[in-house]
A and B are shown apart, each in its own frame.
Chain A
Amino acid sequence: MQILRYAVYRFGTMLLTLLVVSALIFAIINLPPGDYLSNQIAELKSTGQSAGVAKAEFLRKEYALDRPLWEQYLIWVGFAPGPHGFSGLIQGNFGWSFEFDRPVAEIVGDSLWLTVLVNLAAVLFVYMVALPLGVLAAARSRTWVDYSSAFVGYLGLATPNFLLALILFYYGHRYMNLPIGGLMDPSFEGQPMSWDKVQSILWHLIVPTFVIGTSGAAAMMQRLRANMLDELGKPYVETAIAKGMSPRRMLTKYPLRVAFNPFVADIGNLLPSMVSGSVLVSVVLGLQTIGPTLLTALRAQDQFLAGFVLMFVALLTLIGTMISDVLLVLLDPRIRYEGRDA
């Protein structure tokens, strides 16, 4: 009950944060002078193409770019009526991309879900690799298990992602016949979901997951190991041994539970760093994620597209932190009972 209340409260603060973030994003995108259309108009005028100018002027009016900034913002979010009534983010209209000359929703479309998919897979990979290795390295600290896992971990941290991607592609293709590039077989693109398409996506996911997840897993593993080692020195571990518990049971029940906290708290941080960190990898691997699109949009000052993508990344982050906060409350009674009179 208490937890439900906390979750609702956390959801409320998340919405508020999102609102603030939207204002910040809008302000930052509009920091450089002019906008996509005014730049275009200036360019057209200087080359004397007056026909194009008229169309651009029309678009400026159509998308309310001629109004003051604060009004543009309200219209973009959907708090104020634009030239065609309320039609902003909260109404589900993501705007128009000038660069691609198509609605944002259409451009982003599939790649939105593919981004979520790739990053979720990477997060899962990070946790599945880091958890057992970290615990093992701590339990067998200063033995060959510890040293070799640390060695592999540092290799993972130190190798540049794109290099790892290229190497994996080469050898994966050569020895295991893994596909190169993309997130699905080109024949499935634009097709409705089917079992074959799912299989193709999963098959294509292997290398990107590995590439994006390796450095995160290495860092996470080292952190978990350090946390575990700290906990292993605490008196309550001795108490557990004095009770006659077997080492494995003791390890998983006591120190791991405590060392788990920072682990869970990291979920929130992991998501954004992966989204932004995977841009380069996506370019190299030719993944149809949102990363490359964001890069183009930012360069071209394509404000609605860039704004939407940034909002999406912010949303992912906020959801991540919300999940980890709620999980922490579930896991740790000290946080749960904060303020309760003892």
Chain B
Amino acid sequence: MTPLLTVENLSVGFGRADPVVRDVSFEIMPGQTLALVGESGSGKTVTCRAILRILPRVARIHSGRILLNGRDGPRDLATLSQRDLRAVRGDTVSMIFQEPMRSLSPLHTLGNQVAEVLWLHRGASGGDAKKQVLDTFARVGFPDPERAYGSYPFEMSGGMRQRAMIAMAMVGKPDLLIADEPTTALDVTTQAQVLGLIKELQQETGMAMILVTHDLGVVANMAEQVVVMHKGRVMESGAAAAVLGDPAHPYTRQLFDAAPAIPANPEFVPEPPHDDLILELKNVNKTYTMRAKSSWKAQVLIRACRGVDLALPRGTTLAIVGESGSGKTTAARIALGAERPDEGGEVLFKPERGSAAIAVHDLNRTARTAFQKQAQMVFQDPYSSLSPRMRILDALCEPLEIHGIGSSSERRDRAAQMLAQVGLTSDMLMRYPHAFSGGQRQRLSIARALMLNPSLLVCDEPTSALDVSVQEQILCLLEDIRDRLGLSYLFISHDLAVVARIADEVAVMRQGLVVEQAPPETLFHNPRHPYTKALIAAQPTPDINRPINLKLVAQGAGAPESWPEAFRFSETVVPSLMQVEPGHKVRCHV
């Protein structure tokens, strides 16, 4: 059998600089899936874009051949004329991009954007194209294809937009699909469903796929062939079972070790009861009112938090896990006093062991400033949470200036000291943020949060914008700092595997409710709630023998009405949180 695509000695560079992709070769058989794995900067994205020559204007293919042997016969994509290349794009070879939020035009309907492929390549008439698009929409899982056809992207959730992107890529029935991190921006459960969908479609149509990802778990679930890339070169390639089962190259092994995994056989450690609680959320509710679109319609109430009770013992980590829209960030904002809970809710904070608890939302100005010094936050996106126009020194010293602490030389000393704490050196103080990598920036954000010597740190998805190996380092750092400085963390994440290693207690949230709460060992060993089970099942593990159980995911991640009777809840009827074993609470009817 001849390969569908053969890439031979491909080198790509930007301008006159050294090539960022060097001498890369691989081939794909029809119907096969090949995974390109590597960290950001490894050249995997440039490689996959070079195939369709969708590269920045300064990029040049220095050498190499890209032989496509599709339905139109063999051709070399590296030297094809622009005109002939356009006939290949979207027709024989199509592509899915990483960010479903931004990869669709906001001003055109989904139907228009998807049907365009057929107009361009098949010369299909309006009605004919529409019929095919509606079929494809139904196939990728839109409940109402007709409605989706006339909708705009901003009316859809991220998962639905990515389904629309898949429909766009599939509607031309390509021989090869290039998927560039198609699920990185999605929730775990959505990711599992989208991956499942791609796999099914692939089996139906027999197309081949190049999957670009940094997640070995995704690779294990999807790919037959693996190419591991690092700094523009191929480190290791071969059958997925061989590479994943017994990684030969040290870099591959390094990637493996960094991948967070849910422990398979955890030992059960009962937690001793705590009486020294640094933070306590009592019956916290938060209801947002959406402005109704016309005055004679009822206002829409969104219940972001419903009766949340959480307690954080001093020196430990409490993790809140849930998908986007589950209310986890709202809970954190309320805990920090950035938002006021509905009537009846209360947040208590105890600055030191044995001191009196203060109610965060009833503080006067001075007490409030004191509280803000004690509780700091680490944000999700290290790229946008540091001002690009401030030197690191200024960014770090700003909190001290605001609170009027120390002289400028003392501030400087403290900044240098904090940089050392997070594993950076003090000669970096005069640099600007752009000179740092993503992982280093997150270290800087942590250093900034530590400047005021807080006792509580709220981490809002601190690692979800980072590569796996960097994520590993940041988690280590956070653990280390917590134990060294005696900090307490409120840790927000959508990723159970990340939480598994750092948390002492995990609360799983769905639609504003805590549905299950337990220490991570208990939770992963003995999950009771269907949603928790779905979250655990959806986690891709880098083990080819443990594929994602899509049935379990679909059941738990669906609407609460589809859950087994005992767990169902609605707007009005909500079961209470029951203790099923010591330290393990589940929201269910008895």
Contact = CB atoms under 8 A, between A and B. Distances in A.
Interface of A: 234-236, 238-246, 253-254, 257-258, 331-334, 337, 339-342
Q: Give the residue among A254, A257, A333 with the most B Cβ atoms within 10 A.
A: A333
B105 A257 contact: yes
B291 interface: yes
Given A242-B52, A243-B168, A342-B155, A332 B89 contact: no
Interface of B: 52, 54, 86-91, 94-95, 97-99, 102-108, 113, 116-117, 120-121, 152, 154-156, 165, 168, 290-293, 300
B446 to A, nearest CB: 30
Given A238-B97, A337-B152, A244 B120 contact: yes
Contacts of B292: 339
When A and B form their complex, which 3 residue pairs have the shortest distance between CB atoms, in order from nearest? A244-B89, A244-B90, A243-B90
A238 B90 contact: no
Contacts of B165: 239
B86 A246 contact: yes
Nearest to A239: B103
Contacts of A241: 54, 89
B99 A334 contact: no
A235 B86 contact: no
A61 B235 CA distance: 97
Given A243-B89, A342-B156, A236 B102 contact: yes
Contacts of B107: 257-258, 331-334
A244 B121 contact: yes
29 contacts: A238-B54, A239-B104, A239-B168, A241-B54, A242-B54, A242-B89, A242-B97, A243-B90, A243-B94, A244-B117, A244-B120, A245-B86, A245-B116, A245-B120, A246-B86, A253-B108, A254-B105, A257-B108, A258-B105, A258-B106, A331-B107, A333-B106, A333-B154, A334-B154, A337-B155, A339-B292, A339-B293, A342-B155, A342-B156
Contacts of A239: 95, 97, 103-105, 113, 165, 168
Given A244-B88, A244-B91, A342 B300 contact: no
Contacts of B54: 238, 241-242
B105 A244 contact: no
A6 B113 CA distance: 27
Contacts of B152: 333-334, 337
A236 B117 contact: no
A246 B91 CA distance: 14
A335 to B, nearest CB: 10
Given A242-B89, A242-B94, A258-B106, 20 more contacts: A239-B168, A241-B89, A242-B52, A242-B95, A242-B97, A243-B90, A243-B116, A243-B168, A244-B86, A244-B88, A254-B108, A257-B108, A333-B106, A333-B152, A333-B154, A339-B291, A339-B293, A340-B293, A341-B300, A342-B156
A66 B103 CA distance: 68
Contacts of A243: 89-90, 94, 116-117, 120, 168
Contacts of A253: 108
Contact of A235 (B99, B291, B293): B99
A216 to B, nearest CB: 26
Nearest to B49: A238
A342 B325 CA distance: 14
A236 B103 CA distance: 4
A243 B291 CA distance: 38
Nearest to A242: B95
Contacts of A331: 107
Interface centre among B105, B121, B154 (most CB of A within 10 A): B105
Nearest to B83: A246
B68 to A, nearest CB: 14
A244 B87 contact: yes
A242 B180 CA distance: 12
A206 to B, nearest CB: 37
Most buried by A among B86, B87, B99: B86
Contacts of B98: 235
Nearest to A261: B107
Contacts of B108: 253-254, 257
A333 B113 CA distance: 15
Given A243-B168, A339-B293, A341-B290, A334 B106 contact: yes
Contacts of A337: 152, 154-155
Contacts of B89: 241-244
A331 B102 CA distance: 19
A113 B251 CA distance: 77
Given A243-B116, A244-B87, A342-B155, A236 B291 contact: no
Given A244-B86, A341-B300, A235 B290 contact: no
Contacts of B91: 244
Contacts of B293: 339-341
Nearest to B293: A339
B154 A342 contact: yes
Contacts of A341: 290, 293, 300
B102 A234 contact: yes
Contacts of A245: 86, 116, 120
A340 B300 CA distance: 11
A86 to B, nearest CB: 35
A243 B94 CA distance: 7
A131 B99 CA distance: 30
B60 to A, nearest CB: 16
A340 B297 CA distance: 12
Nearest to A233: B56
Nearest to B114: A243
Nearest to B120: A244
Contacts of A340: 155, 293
B359 to A, nearest CB: 35
A199 B97 CA distance: 57
A65 B389 CA distance: 59
Contacts of A257: 105, 107-108
A182 B403 CA distance: 67
A199 to B, nearest CB: 42
Most buried by B among A244, A246, A257, A339: A244
Contacts of A342: 154-156
Contacts of B168: 239, 243
Contacts of B97: 235, 238-239, 242
Point out which of A235, A242, A334 has the most chain B C-beta atoms below 10 A from its C-beta: A242
Contacts of A258: 105-107
A234 B113 CA distance: 16
A257 B152 CA distance: 15
A50 B155 CA distance: 77
B48 to A, nearest CB: 11
Contacts of A234: 102
Contacts of B105: 236, 239-240, 254, 257-258
